[in-house]
Amino acid sequence: MVKVNEGAVPVLEVWRGGLLESTHLGHAVICDAKGIVAAWGNPEAVIFPRSSAKMLQALPLIETGAADARGLSQAHLALSCASGAGSPTWACPNPTSAAARMNPAT
């Protein structure tokens, strides 16, 4: 069985004060029209991008003019790029009130 982290390299360290709390492993690839320009980890790894691709998935909303045509605000667009596990906060039709519930200090 192939493991997602096979060949992964450290890509992020989380520090608290002077203590290394965690190290996150991953793979990264930079490509151009000719192929791979640079790679870290295993460029052949099969991964599940999940939330990291949401911003790319939301691009057609802007590029096709659909966001403007439907009157989507910046808050709507932010929610289209967010990851919320389908909780009521993310399903709220009024993103301004959803943001207020998440961050009541604002």
Is 43 within 8 Å of 80 (Cβ atoms)?
A: no
List the domain boundaries for the chain: 1-47, 50-102
Instruction: In whole angstroms, give the CA distance from residue 10 to residue 64.
Output: 37
- Judged against a pLDDT cut of 70, whether residue 1 lies above it is answered with no
> How large is the average pLDDT for residues 80-91?
70
Helix (H, G, I), strand (E, B) or coil at 69: helix
For residues 40-58, average pLDDT: 85
Specify whether the CB–CB gap between 24 and 12 falls below 8 A.
Answer: yes
**Element (H or E) spanning 30, and its range?**
strand 28-32
- For 19-42, what is the mean pLDDT? 95
Q: Give the residue-averaged pLDDT of 85-106.
A: 57
pTM: 0.54
Share of the chain above pLDDT 90, in %: 46
Average pLDDT over the chain, rounded to an integer: 83
